[in-house]
Amino acid sequence: MRWTLRGRLRLILGLTGACLGALALLDVAMERQVEHQLVTIEQSYLPLSELGPAVESQLGTLRHALQDAVAAEDAEELAATAARRDRLLAELDHAPPVVDPAALRTTRALLVTWYEHARAVSEGLLSGGLGEQGVTRVAAMQAEQARLGRAVRDTFSLDRRKLTAAFEATRHARTTAFDVRLSVHIALLLGVALLSIGIGRRAVRSLHDLTEGFSRLGRGDFDDPVQVSGEDELSEIAQQANRMAAELRELDAGLREKQRELEHANSELEAFSYSVSHDLRAPLRAIDGFSQALLEDLGDRLDATGGHHLTRVRAGAQRMGQLIDDLLALSRVTRAGVKRESVDLSALSALVVAELERAHPERKVAVTIAEGLRASGDARMLRIVLDNLLGNAWKFTARTAAPRIEVGGDGRELFVRDNGAGFDMAFAGKLFAPFQRLHSTEEFAGTGIGLATVQRIIHRHGGTVRADSAPGQGATFRFTLPSAEEPK
């Protein structure tokens, strides 16, 4: 039979419910037993405490009725006492079963005998005297009255020993019920606990095996299958994990093959890029050099149009050379390793600005650099980031009346802000793509590689870069880097 985890849980719940039901039935049975004992006490002994005084009271009433009839010399009233006697006899006949039947019959017979003697004495007194046997008849009546009184007390008195025994039986029944309930509770709890512990240990062991198996899968070890004993839901999960591991193993093999092919293709592409760049430089230098020679040696023989064409040829060759240099720089940034260290970005920014001021002494730009800007990264690569961002800010503020550049930061996010030409955010998606420019070369020189290089360096440091701008309102480039306190 297949015991699933769900089936085990249902078994525990079913046993728990059955145990609770059994305990409820046991409680009902025990309570009924105790209730029966109490009802027995109520029906057997309490009526005696009420019936005895009632019978004695009615006997006294009957005796006083006989005396009153004699005192009043009323024969009719004397005859009426028979009805009182009959009512008392009827009450004795309907006494509860707890009264001893033999004692009850004796009491009834003594009542009849006493009444006959008392009636005879009363009738004698009404007729004028008791005669010579009066004293004997009165003595006999009194003797019967005494015997009747003792019989009533004996018949309807409480037997304290029996009452004590009944209460003791009730107490014992309560104690027994409590002990039985407690024992059954403990036994059922232990049974359910042991069963739960057994099922729980099995489930914990299976979960431990699953955890270790998934840890191996997480480390990329797809060859060692997940082993879970049993045939429950956890074993099904293990089987599914093993099937997934087999699929991942095949995918991993395919990815490794693709990676080798990609590395080979990248290697060939890098070699091709270097070869093309190297081979293109010589013709470009020749074009630039010969164009310059023509302008210098034959410039006086050329008309204005010819000179202009040669100037444009030289500018195109120089721009192509710059573009090749930028492409090589981007390729080197992609291939180079990141050597992390704590970098003082404030000092590095000041160094870049100083070089821009030396290169363009005619420019008067208000530059503000916040103090204490530090980050963890490759100092050489971060210098390239600041070269491009500050170089762009310097370039795009060239036509601004009062140019301002600000370098600052807030936590892990740093920014370079200017009040230059700005750009339309509708074209922001093109900013960091190679060769994409938002301004013409006639407005601002450039190759469109700088921001692509910035994004690649920031991404290699695990950060992000974005821009906010509006036409004519400057631009703000924000980027994130690991702080100098973060682990490298």
Q: Which residue has the higher pLDDT, 406 or 267?
A: 406
Q: Would you call 231 helix, strand, or coil by DSSP?
A: coil
Q: Percent of the chain at pLDDT above 70?
A: 73
User: Which residue did the predictor score with more confidence, 207 or 457?
Assistant: 457
Q: What is the mean pLDDT of residues 206-230?
A: 70
- The identity of residue 257, as a single letter, is E
For domain 338-480, give the CATH number.
Answer: 3.30.565.10
Across 247-256, 262-271, 432-441, least confident range: 432-441
| 390-408 confidence digits (pLDDT tens) | 988 888 888 888 999 999 9
Q: How high does pLDDT run on average in the chain?
A: 77
pLDDT confidence bin for 45, thresholds 50/70/90: low
What percentage of the chain exceeds 90 in pLDDT? 7
Cα(330)–Cα(456) distance, rounded to whole angstroms? Answer: 8
- Run of H or E including 369: strand 366-369
Confidence of residue 228 (pLDDT cuts 50, 70, 90): low
User: For residue 349, what pLDDT is reported?
Assistant: 92
DSSP strand pairing (341-344 vs 374-377): antiparallel
Q: Give tens-digit pLDDT for 118-127.
A: 888 888 888 7
Per-residue pLDDT, 43: 62
Domain chopping of the chain, boundaries: 5-43+162-209, 46-157, 220-335, 338-480
pLDDT given for residue 488 in this prediction: 47
What values do phi and psi take at 295, rounded to 5?
Answer: -65, -35
More confident: 169 or 79: 79
Query: Residue 42: its pLDDT value, please?
Result: 62
User: What are 318-327's pLDDT values in tens digits?
Assistant: 666 666 666 6
Residue 403 contacts residue 417 (beta carbons within 8 Å)? no
Please tell me what DSSP assigns to residue 24: H
**pLDDT tens digits for range 181-190:** 778 778 877 8
d(CA 197, CA 206): 14
As a whole number, mean pLDDT of residues 59-75 equals: 85
DSSP sequence for 293-329: HHHHHHTTTS-HHHHHHHHHHHHHHHHHHHHHHHHHH
What are the tokens at 267?
């290697």
Dist. CA 221–CA 206, nearest whole Å: 19
The answer on pLDDT for 155 being more than 50 is yes
The pTM of this model reads 0.43
Out of 2.60.40, 1.10.357, 1.20.120, 1.10.3470, the CATH code matching 46-157 is 1.20.120
Q: What is the DSSP string of 396-421?
A: HTTT-SS-EEEEEEETTEEEEEE-S-
Residue 88 has pLDDT above 90, yes or no: no
Residue 487 has pLDDT above 50, yes or no: no
Q: Do the two domains 46-157 and 338-480 of this chain adopt the same fold?
A: no
